[in-house]
Amino acid sequence: MPNSTERSELHDSACPLAAIDRRLDDVHRHWHSAERAYFEPQAFRVAIQTAIQTLRTVTFILQSNKHLIPEFDAWYAPWQERLKADALMRWMVDARNKIEKQGDLEAHSFVRAEIVASYLDNGPVMDVPAKLFEGPRVILKGIPKKSELGDHIVKFGTLRIQRRWVENSLPNYELLEAVAIAYGRIAELVHDAHRAIGRDPPTTVDAETGEQYAPGRGGKMPCMIGHGDARTINISLSDGKRFDLTHLAIPADVEEGRKSAEKYGLQPDKIWDATGDQEAVLNSLFRSARRMTETDGYHVTMSVLLRGNKPVRLAQVEFPDQGAKYVVMRDMANEVTKLAADGVILIGEGWRAKADASKPYMRAADAPDRIEMLHAVLVRREGDPVELIADFRRQGDQVRLADTHTVRGGQHYMFAPIYNAWGRVLPDDWKK
């Protein structure tokens, strides 16, 4: 998804480091120019090279303003060490020297094709020069036939095709991503310079909604994360159809919320319990979801990203098939990083299998005597998952729900990409 909304950093009006802040923001702008020009080789070359050159000048300007920072040398030396020890940052310095003294970078456009057929494992990847790319057919031929793995891939796999710019001397990075990471490292330095003069580091805001983002993300702006999705095509291997990630963000509309609360006979302030912790949010949302399910006879699947007990993103999600789940959950993990979320709730209908000891690993949806349920799972940066379950009891057209059960812990392997984003180790019993 392209990011249409621009984010910027907000400084207090009298920030003494304004010259440095502005130059850093110039890098951010040049980065977006490169992103916009991704499919125009000449424009991309100019913009990405300008971003790399401008990034280098941020530290020059910082050094020429050293009088602003008390005990500058003692503060700056460890930063210099850190940047020197960083291979990517060294590459940026060399690249800038090359651009200014020798000529252009040797950037090449590739098409990367990879197969996603699980929540975490990386499937086969193939990089082909863009002009030689023959389309998905070639990659599909490489899938092993008649193995269990091959079957799984064909049934549940997704082929992701992505355009990438790669520079000869930096083969392991996509170039735009490399510059975003380097921007983040320098932004952290600039933020620390604010702390060194006793000021708060700038806050990141969404220019349109005024929403503030928590710090983190390795200094990157939220709009610099996950940009690869915009130039990615997803093709389902089972039917060869292209699909887009539907992650409709649902803006919080107070008036709409009031109306729909009325429809379901709910009190608006009870739908979202903002007085307790994330589990209190989960409980309040589930109570409302029960009411909606019994009224409408169904419930759509929704994801709620939380920071503390506050929602930072509500979205309706769709899982047309198992393959889409892999892609959607990986994408959700990107959003978690972008928004520095520390809790995720997924709420919707599902199936649970009646326990069958002879087939412990059968997917609930495939079980013969499966039970329809409304359920919600909360996973958190810290603490165990919590799941709420209420079984469906159909009475003619009417849906009634059994009592809500709470399950702590439990296996929630589909959230593995989100645990990864938090740097959490997966519980042993998750992976079957």
Binding of Zn ion at residue 25 (CB under 5 A)? no
Structure tokens at 93: 């310095």
Residues 202-221 that bind Zn ion (CB under 5 A): 221
Binding Zn ion (rule: CB under 5 A), the pick from 17, 27, 58, 285 is 17
- Of the candidates 55, 95, 111, 223, which one interacts with Zn ion according to CB under 5 A? 223
Please answer whether residues 231 and 223 qualify as being in contact, where contact means their C-beta atoms are separated by less than 8 angstroms: no
35 binds Zn ion (CB under 5 A): no
Q: What angle do CA 342, 221, 85 make, to 5 degrees?
A: 95
- SS3 call for 203: strand
Query: Which residue lies nearer to Zn ion by CB, 17 or 390?
Result: 17
**Between residues 69 and 346, which has the closer beta carbon with respect to Zn ion?**
69
CA distance 95 to 103: 10
Beta bridge partner(s), residue 316? 248, 302
Q: Which of 15, 140 has the CB closer to Zn ion? A: 15
Alpha-carbon distance 84 to 59, whole Å? 13
Radius of gyration of the chain measured on its C-alpha atoms? 25
Number of shown-chain residues binding Zn ion (CB under 5 A): 7
**In angstroms, what is the minimal distance from the CB of 11 to Zn ion?**
4
Reported as type and span, the H/E element at residue 181 is: helix 175-196
Neighbours of 174 (CB within 10 A): 20
Q: Which is nearer to Zn ion, 62 or 115 (CB)?
A: 62
Shortest spacing between CB 59 and Zn ion, in angstroms:
16
| Separation CA 38–CA 281 (nearest Å) | 41
Of the pair 223, 237, the CB lying nearest Zn ion is at 223
> At closest approach, how far in Å is the CB of 184 from Zn ion?
12
Distance (Å, whole) CA 54 – CA 22? 11
Point out which span in 19-27, 283-291, 320-328, 354-362 binds Zn ion (CB under 5 A). Answer: 19-27
Does 61 participate in binding Zn ion (rule CB under 5 A)?
no
Stretch that binds Zn ion, among 7-15, 152-160, 282-290, 315-323 (CB under 5 A): 7-15
**11 scored as a contact of Zn ion (CB under 5 A):** yes
Q: Which is nearer to Zn ion, 11 or 375 (CB)?
A: 11
- If one asks whether residue 21 binds Zn ion (CB under 5 A), the answer comes out as yes
Residue 190 touches Zn ion, criterion: CB under 5 A: no
Query: Using CA atoms, how far apart are residues 58 and 196, in angstroms rounded to an integer?
Result: 17
Question: How far apart are the C-alpha atoms of 415 and 364, rounded to whole Å?
Answer: 17
Q: Which residues bind Zn ion (CB under 5 A)?
A: 7, 11, 15, 17, 21, 221, 223
